[in-house]
Structure 1
């Protein structure tokens, strides 16, 4: 059994009654805690928070409520990108819009253009629209965005395309684009330490869940499809490997980034012991989130299938052989899956979403 050491507990800056759970964005040498509310996004330096220094928060006014999309923040914490139903908008902490890329509306079978959120703010159908996502590159110079076409200035593009865009983070110029050939209900980016590449998971409901890998050579964006029914969980610190789980969550797979090939796998059933409360022999499966602690080690959870029986359980996995090192022992019960926090750590969020706990293996001390 591996003992987890609590590195720090950081209070969520916003009231969970009107905000999403806090989360961590991380890059080499930089970690931010962010939390999205209906009217604002808050970002703070996680390393300053864990060191006990004076917290300096950046607060970004939100252009639309949180149910209408997702958000990401630049590595230096100076800009937030809100991904909405009709546009991707970059906002500075002052409230100024740095740039906006308008695209086809995610609601409805035939995409159409909006000039502002106000046009559909009270329309109940738009509250349940599909959505894309965005992420900053590791160096903060690019924004990768998955949107529905067409873009505002397109004249001959097919309306039903979904596009993966490479955007200049400074001025919003679309530098590159490619058709993802997907029909998304949602998507999520997984950053890579190399700013010229990134991963994208696209949820298509019952149609599948493609994992795409994008590469930008400065002139052209190319896309490789790694799988059609998996979720991308994490990229290793070196960027050489990535971790996925299939939709049915039965196995963790280690892939080589260069060509997407599966190197090794570990099944939950038959490897992970049943929860003490699971006396009926219910299926054991992995969570939809996991974290690389280092190049050779992953923290993965079975919290979703454990939830019916009691405390969430997390496991240390040796990726060299995709073997289980054992269950992780925490000083107090944790909730939900383990999530990546960079620098050899992972985090969990308290059940009431009022605090974030940062962990590392005690034997690393």
Structure 2
């Protein structure tokens, strides 16, 4: 059994009754805790938390409530990028708009190009709109955004399609675009250590779950489809490999980033023992999140299928041979999925969402 060492416990800055659960965004050498409420986004610097220092804090007024999209921040924590129903907007800590890129409305029945959030704020249909997402590159110079086209500046030349954009993080200039050929209900970016590369996992409800890989050469954005029925979980520290799980959660797959080819796979069934409380023969399956702790090892969970029977279980997987090293032993019970935090760490969130626990392998190689 592999032992996990607690690196830090950080209190969630916002009341969980009116905010999303805290999460960690990470880039090479940089970790930030972010938590989104309806009126503000709070960012805590986790780099000093491992040394026991109180994390520095920044707060960003939110341009619209959290149900109207997602948010990301820059590696330096000095700008927040809100991906909304009608626009992608970057703001500073005062709430002032740095730039905004308007796009077609994510509400499927709406054909309007909204000029402000106020136009849709009180419409019930827009509260349940589909959504895109955004991420900031490792060097902080690019924003990658998945939006519904056309863009506000496209005029009559634009088509009704979903677009993947590369934007200048300083002023929002559209540097490149690619048609994703998707029909999203939601999406999530998975950053790569190379600022010119990015992963995108698109959920299409019952229609599919495409994984796209984007490359920006300074002039043109290319988007290649890795698969149509996968969820992208994580990218290895070197950026050489990526990890996926199929939509049925049967199999973890290690892919080569270069061409998307599958290198090795590991099925949960027949590999992970049933939960001790599972006496009815329900199948074991992988979670929708996992974390690389180094180039050779991943922490993966079965917390979702374990939930009816007791404590969540997490597992150390050797991706070189795609074998199960064993269950992770924690100093106290944890809840939910293991989530990537970079720099050899992963994190869990307490069941009441009031604290975030940062972990590292006790027997680090």
The answer for the alignment partner of 2:22 in structure 1 is: 22
The answer for the alignment partner of 2:132 in structure 1 is: 132
The answer for the alignment partner of 1:42 in structure 2 is: 42
Once the 2 structures are TM-superposed, how far is the Cα of residue 95 of structure 1 from its aligned partner?
Answer: 1.3
| Alpha-carbon contact 1:135-1:143 (below 8 Å) kept | yes
The answer for the alignment partner of 2:298 in structure 1 is: 298
Answer yes or no: is 1:249 the counterpart of 2:249. Answer: yes
CA distance in 2, matches of 1:136, 1:350: 27
What is the CA deviation profile of residues 283-323 of structure 1, one whole-angstrom value per residue up to 9, with x for unaligned ones?
11000000000000000000000001010000000001100
CA distance in 2, matches of 1:262, 1:38: 41
Once the 2 structures are TM-superposed, how far is the Cα of residue 344 of structure 1 from its aligned partner?
Answer: 0.6
Answer yes or no: is 1:203 the counterpart of 2:203. Answer: yes
The answer for the alignment partner of 1:280 in structure 2 is: 280
Partner secondary structure for residue 206 of structure 1: helix
The answer for the alignment partner of 2:347 in structure 1 is: 347
Partner secondary structure for residue 215 of structure 2: strand
RMSD: 1.0
User: Structure 2 matches for 1:3-18, cutoff 5 A?
Assistant: 3-18=3-18
Once the 2 structures are TM-superposed, how far is the Cα of residue 110 of structure 1 from its aligned partner?
Answer: 5.2
Q: CA 1:214–1:157 in structure 2 vs 1: closer, same or farther (change >3 Å)?
A: farther
CA distance in 2, matches of 1:37, 1:66: 6
What is the CA deviation profile of residues 116-169 of structure 1, one whole-angstrom value per residue up to 9, with x for unaligned ones?
111111111101000000000010000000000110010344442000000000
User: Structure 2 matches for 1:131-210, cutoff 5 A?
Assistant: 131-210=131-210
Once the 2 structures are TM-superposed, how far is the Cα of residue 50 of structure 1 from its aligned partner?
Answer: 3.0
| Alpha-carbon contact 2:231-2:244 (below 8 Å) kept | yes
| Alpha-carbon contact 1:110-1:160 (below 8 Å) kept | no
User: Structure 2 matches for 1:230-245, cutoff 5 A?
Assistant: 230-245=230-245
CA distance in 2, matches of 1:55, 1:338: 22
Once the 2 structures are TM-superposed, how far is the Cα of residue 56 of structure 1 from its aligned partner?
Answer: 2.1
Q: How many residues align?
A: 365
TM-score by length of 1: 0.99
The answer for the alignment partner of 1:89 in structure 2 is: 89
Once the 2 structures are TM-superposed, how far is the Cα of residue 48 of structure 1 from its aligned partner?
Answer: 1.9
The answer for the alignment partner of 1:107 in structure 2 is: 107
Partner secondary structure for residue 112 of structure 2: coil
| Alpha-carbon contact 1:111-1:160 (below 8 Å) kept | no
| Alpha-carbon contact 2:89-2:100 (below 8 Å) kept | yes
Answer yes or no: is 1:215 the counterpart of 2:215. Answer: yes
Partner secondary structure for residue 71 of structure 1: strand
| Alpha-carbon contact 1:251-1:286 (below 8 Å) kept | yes
CA distance in 2, matches of 1:240, 1:156: 41
The answer for the alignment partner of 1:310 in structure 2 is: 310
CA distance in 1, matches of 2:35, 2:262: 34
| Alpha-carbon contact 2:287-2:300 (below 8 Å) kept | yes
CA distance in 1, matches of 2:361, 2:54: 26
The answer for the alignment partner of 1:328 in structure 2 is: 328
CA distance in 1, matches of 2:239, 2:111: 36
Once the 2 structures are TM-superposed, how far is the Cα of residue 364 of structure 1 from its aligned partner?
Answer: 1.6
CA distance in 2, matches of 1:341, 1:80: 19
Partner secondary structure for residue 13 of structure 1: coil
What 5-or-longer segments of structure 1 have no aligned partner? none
Q: CA 1:54–1:330 in structure 2 vs 1: closer, same or farther (change >3 Å)?
A: closer
Answer yes or no: is 1:271 the counterpart of 2:271. Answer: yes
What 5-or-longer segments of structure 2 have no aligned partner? none
CA distance in 1, matches of 2:263, 2:88: 36
Once the 2 structures are TM-superposed, how far is the Cα of residue 52 of structure 1 from its aligned partner?
Answer: 2.4
Once the 2 structures are TM-superposed, how far is the Cα of residue 189 of structure 1 from its aligned partner?
Answer: 0.2
CA distance in 2, matches of 1:328, 1:137: 31
The answer for the alignment partner of 2:259 in structure 1 is: 259
| Alpha-carbon contact 1:198-1:215 (below 8 Å) kept | yes
Moved over 6 A (4+): none
The answer for the alignment partner of 1:118 in structure 2 is: 118
Once the 2 structures are TM-superposed, how far is the Cα of residue 51 of structure 1 from its aligned partner?
Answer: 2.1
CA distance in 2, matches of 1:100, 1:34: 21
CA distance in 1, matches of 2:35, 2:337: 18
Partner secondary structure for residue 100 of structure 1: strand
CA distance in 2, matches of 1:272, 1:85: 40
Partner secondary structure for residue 49 of structure 2: helix
